[in-house]
Structure 1
């Protein structure tokens, strides 16, 4: 299958491109990066199209002229930058989705994957939040993701496009550098890799950590399935406190000194505990990376292990 992968030069997208190639697909990556360094290991095996997801002309042209059989739409502006520039976020995160779906209708593409986010749920939703839990995002990023989900559902009903996707939690791993939860995830582990000392001011704060390789595997389980019972599935890893993550990191780096304090206010605008049983039951998904295994893998990637 020939797949147009938007955002394919980024943190999640580059891993997705490699996984798609690994299962024998032909991959056309659309991104705005001048030199896609994260794709260097597979540069000769993909077609790279440089374009702006915020440009309606670029986005439409990529869909209708590249002969793709399907589209995986991962391009987005993350939480922090979305709050700083809401018009740009809505253009890239929402309007680009509409352009892609319109273009798919025009050329007869019938299959689309959309990478959404658990940010679509209400922050104060009763936890664990199920897939059909209350939507009500607290920021522009979550709002744009929710709007795109609703758009996908409308095109599925109206035009018969097979739209399906995931709502991942705190995704972390190699190459993550942006996003509101980066401070909690890569930012915390990197302090251990740097040798410390590490001072933690929010040890009891919780979040659901999913390693990027597990997320890509979950996405392909949903993507490759002949059918799906719903449009969007929450994808979880492990629900952990910051203290639990630090303790796992200390097992990998026992020489790093850690101190704990209390009282730091949370900057996380999202719900943290989710029920992803539909993904597990319907597709057999189980995370392969515990937090300790993921930290060891990440350390090897960084050349520290």
Structure 2
């Protein structure tokens, strides 16, 4: 049996594919584009690529018919994130985040797939002043992106209530790492980590006064894997991230430190996002045995190595 990962060659999806395939688990990577990612080469035999858009329901039905006897569960990672592009075309962003999720829930119902893990976001908490926890803080998104994630969570939970789907939610927070170069990232990470790729003219209008729980991508994949694999978990909604918030300015300093040709970054005063600094991961630690394996500096150092090996000449 296999786990189907939407966005299977995306930044998080590819590391989830790596995590499962490394444990000798078959993976069906559903994505719009096939990619030759270096960290998947040794385990490529365990990964089956299928090309589809999560908004193309008829194509998805064809795929699920083809693999109906092989899919044991689904991990849904596809989403448009809280980037200026989201607010430049909110209709598409909401359509992708909401209808894409509904399509996967409905396919799970139609094909009697027992488990679906939804990759949500800490954005559902909005601008919480303390470390928001799954049991102590309700959904209180502060922007359209967070609202689309919160709505998807609620819809998924009702699919569980009505149809018996084992619906699980992971809430990651501001992850970075191999899979995309800084130049291919959202404006936030392009600006903060652009020095690793020696990108010029890097700037953010705001952010000099903000700290966030930036987390290395392998830690997010590891925590997500643990929640998916858990037998009858006590809690089905789990925060996964670093407990230690790091400032935007410190992220830039570390990117410059590990760049062979560092470039400058201009960041204006104030906060870029209406977000709390980081999340409470007590449940992940107690129930799943999750602990971040990388500090932010260790993660940036690993990412710098990958960027050097994969950047465009």
TM band (smaller chain):
0.7 to 0.9
Unaligned runs of 5+ in 1: none
Structure 1 position 296, deviation (Å)? 1.2
1: CA distance, partners of 2:202 / 2:94: 37
- In structure 1, the partner of 2:272 is 267
1:285 aligns with 2:294: no
> Which of 232, 236, 246 is residue 240 of structure 1 equivalent to?
246
Is the aligned partner of 1:3 residue 2:7?
Answer: no
Q: Which residue of 1 aligns with 2:52?
A: 51
Residues 9-44 of structure 1, C-alpha deviation per residue, up to 9 Å, x if partnerless?
Answer: 1111111112111111111111111x3233872554
Give TM-score, length-normalised by structure 1: 0.86
CA contact (8 A) 1:4 1:63 kept: no
Distance in 2 (CA, whole Å) between partners of 1:101 and 1:262 is 40
Change in Cα spacing, 1:92 to 1:9, as seen in structure 2 (3 Å) is: same
Q: How many Å apart are 1:211 and its aligned residue?
A: 0.6
Q: CA deviation at 1:274?
A: 1.8
Conserved in 2, the CA contact under 8 Å of 1:112 and 1:164? Answer: yes
Alpha-carbon deviation of 1:115?
A: 0.6
> CA, structure 1 residues 158+198, in 2 after alignment: closer, same or farther (shift >3 Å)?
closer
Q: Is 1:129 the counterpart of 2:132 in the alignment? A: yes
Structure 1 residue 152: Cα displacement? 1.4
Alpha carbons of structure 1 residues 242 and 71: separation in structure 2 relative to 1, 3 Å = same
Secondary structure, aligned partner of 1:288: coil
The number of aligned residues is 301
Q: Residue 218 of structure 2 corresponds to which residue in structure 1?
A: 213
Deviation at 1:258, TM superposition (A): 6.9
Q: Distance in 2 between matches of 1:255 and 1:77?
A: 31
- Corresponding residue for 2:37? 38
Render the CA deviation track for 1:197-217: whole Å, top value 9, x for unaligned. Answer: 988974442111011011000
| Match runs of 1:89-100 below 5 Å | 89-100=93-104
Which SS does the other structure have where 1:303 is aligned?
helix
The offset of 1:195, in angstroms, is 8.9
Q: Which runs of 5+ in 2 are unaligned?
A: none
Moved more, 189-198 or 101-110: 189-198
2:118 equivalent in structure 1: 114
Q: Is 1:79–2:82 an aligned residue pair?
A: yes
Match status 1:70 vs 2:73: yes
- Which moves more between the two structures, 6-15 or 41-50? 41-50
Q: 1:161-195, CA deviations, whole angstroms, 9 ceiling, x for partnerless residues?
A: 1111211111111134689x944445323315529
Structure 2 distance, partners of 1:135, 1:212, is 24
Distance 1:78 1:287 in 2: 23
In 2, the alpha carbon distance for the partners of 1:32 and 1:257 equals 33
Instruction: Check the 8 A contact 2:2/2:27 in 1, yes or no.
Output: yes
| 1:135 CA displacement | 1.6
The answer as to whether partners of 1:60 and 1:99 remain within 8 angstroms in 2 is: no
TM-score by length of 2: 0.84
